[in-house]
Structure formats: structure tokens, C-alpha cells
Amino acid sequence: MNTYHAHDILNLLIESQQPYTIETLKEKIANSYGSDATFYTCKLKDLTIEQLLEFFVTKNKVTITDGIVTANIANMCHH
């Protein structure tokens, strides 16, 4: 199983030239990182992509509006 930092997903959203829905983002992550990839933050580990997205929304690090997932750069930590 591969594990990646949550910032990898935020950076993916920021750098993308195309908008992602939750489903297209999940597909991109599965294709790029593997379908069994897990993610970690400074305080959490072994998160699925669903759990990571829930965490991002709770912390206002991403917004989901009209089905489109957008990174909230203002709320990103920079470490």
C-alpha cells in the first residue's frame, strides 16, 4: 500500500488546468497513486481519499460547489 501526504492532493487541485468532480478526482488519484493509496496529514494517518476529502471540507481546505472540488489556498498550511 502506498501512502502520500495530503498536500499532494491539494497541489494536484491547485495545479490542474481542469476542474475535478469528486468522481473524476477519485479516478485521477487511483490512476496516479493507486487504488489502495492512503494519505496522511500532520495529525492523521491512513486516510482513504473519502476520509481525506471529508477532512479537507471540515477544515475548509477545499470547497465543493456544484459538484466541483476546489482547493482553498488561503487555508493551506505551508510546511
Instruction: Tell me if residue 78 falls in helix, strand or coil.
Output: coil
Q: Helix, strand, or coil here: 77? A: coil
pLDDT in tens, 17-38: 899 999 999 999 999 999 999 9
- 0.85 exceeded by the pTM? yes
Contact between 10 and 76 under an 8 Å Cβ cutoff? The reply is: yes
Residue 54 has pLDDT above 70, yes or no: yes
Which residue's C-alpha cell is 481519499? 49
Residue 24 CB neighbours (<10 A) = 14
Confidence of residue 73 (pLDDT cuts 50, 70, 90): confident
